[in-house]
């Protein structure tokens, strides 16, 4: 499979220069690297600019409710072990509305890859502060500046025991495609937070702002992503220097392993022709 096989006919609705374009390109490169057919790949999203990304790749796609992409993705993977399941979500969708689902799916450790397009703002609704907006940043709603401390997703994920924690940068799609490929290969829940400039509504965290700060943590051969204490220190670094790369990795038992699901047929292959669910469905149908 090559990138042309993944081309969608949907018209892209993002602003020119949006950081989501780099993430879209990185996803396509990663999918060609793992060499799976579109029918074997499912993209799941919720609501937001990031949630549009699955429309622009010719694979299976499911749009859920705001913040509810993760339960749908986990359910799809549990029902079909052979499916590669990727979630594209935003900082508001995943860390705000979907925060509870993020916590418990990290605990559950289903084998899915979650890509968070983190532009530190609500872009679809034109510029309110999100959970990752910097302290003091002024928006049309937070006119005196954000007064809440920003959420630190990488520190949180490591503390919760997530087995694959990474940060990418949308302007470096080659590096990001490597991270996505590694996240897909990792057996278990993978979180990839992607720094993604919003050219319309975030006037602070711009391409120029990031270009002065980001550096690749894995360029240092002495850095060991299996060292949890060192990973936590890297995850906490923000300001004049911002690390990108594979921050933390730990192999651990997945939900599918614990339930013995990898030794059984996928649920979708079960013979259901003699199962009648009309009675159960009838409870939800009113005359």
Query: In the predicted model, what is the mean pLDDT of the chain?
Result: 95
Cross-sheet strand order for the sheet of 164-169: 60-63, 41-45, 84-90, 113-118, 190-195, 164-169, 242-249, 214-216
Q: How far, CA to CA in Å, does 150 sit from each of 3, 110, 147, 224?
A: 37, 27, 9, 27
CA distances from 282 to 260, 275, 287 (A): 33, 15, 10
Q: Are 85 and 79 in contact (CB under 8 A)?
A: no
Sign of the CA dihedral running 221, 159, 195, 14: positive
Q: How far, in Å, are 30, 75, 144, 182, 255 from residue 179 at the CA level?
A: 8, 24, 37, 5, 22
Mean pLDDT of 213-233: 97
- Alpha helices (H) in the chain, listed in sequence order: 20-34, 69-79, 91-92, 99-108, 153-160, 173-185, 207-211, 228-236, 255-258, 278-282
30 band by pLDDT with thresholds 50, 70 and 90: very high
How far apart are the C-alpha atoms of 88 and 90, rounded to whole Å?
Answer: 7
Of the listed ranges 3-7, 17-21, 114-118, 191-195, the least confidently predicted one is: 3-7
pTM for the full predicted model: 0.94
Q: Report residue 200 as tokens.
A: 């319309």
* For residue 283, pLDDT beyond 90: no
Q: Which of 159, 177, 152, 165 is nearest to 250 (CA)?
A: 165
Of 206, 282, 213, 199, nearest to 241 by C-alpha is 213
pLDDT tens digits along 142-184: 999 999 999 999 999 999 999 999 999 999 999 999 999 999 9
Percent of the chain surpassing pLDDT 70: 100
The Cα angle at residue 76 between residues 70 and 78, in degrees rounded to 5 = 100
Question: Assign residue 279 a region: left if phi > 0, alpha if psi is -120 to 50, beta otherwise?
Answer: alpha
């Amino acid at each position: 499979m090559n990138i042309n096989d993944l081309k969608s006919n949907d018209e892209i609705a993002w602003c020119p220069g949006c950081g989501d374009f780099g993430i879209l390109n990185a996803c396509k490169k990663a999918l060609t690297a793992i060499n799976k057919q579109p029918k074997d790949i499912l993209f799941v999203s919720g609501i937001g600019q990031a949630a549009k990304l699955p429309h622009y790749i010719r694979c299976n796609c499911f749009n859920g409710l705001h913040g509810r992409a993760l339960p749908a993705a986990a359910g799809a993977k549990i029902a079909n072990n052979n499916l590669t399941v990727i979630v594209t979500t935003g900082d508001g969708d995943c860390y705000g509305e979907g925060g509870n689902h993020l916590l418990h799916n990290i605990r559950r450790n289903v084998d899915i890859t979650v890509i968070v397009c983190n532009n530190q703002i609500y872009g679809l609704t034109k510029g309110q502060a999100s959970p990752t907006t910097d302290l003091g940043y002024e928006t049309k709603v937070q006119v005196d500046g954000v007064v809440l401390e920003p959420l630190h997703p990488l520190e949180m994920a490591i503390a919760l025991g997530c087995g694959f924690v990474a940060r990418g940068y949308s302007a470096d799609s080659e590096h990001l495609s490597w991270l996505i490929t590694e996240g897909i290969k990792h057996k278990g829940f993978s979180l990839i937070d992607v720094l993604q400039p919003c050219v319309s509504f975030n006037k602070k965290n711009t391409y120029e702002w990031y270009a002065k700060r980001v550096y690749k943590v894995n360029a240092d051969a002495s850095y060991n992503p299996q060292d949890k204490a060192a990973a936590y220190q890297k995850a906490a670094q923000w300001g004049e220097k911002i690390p990108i790369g594979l921050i933390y990795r730990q192999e651990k038992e997945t939900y599918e392993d614990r339930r013995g699901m990898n030794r059984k047929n996928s649920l979708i292959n079960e013979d259901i022709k003699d199962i009648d669910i009309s009675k159960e469905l009838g409870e939800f149908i009113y005359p």
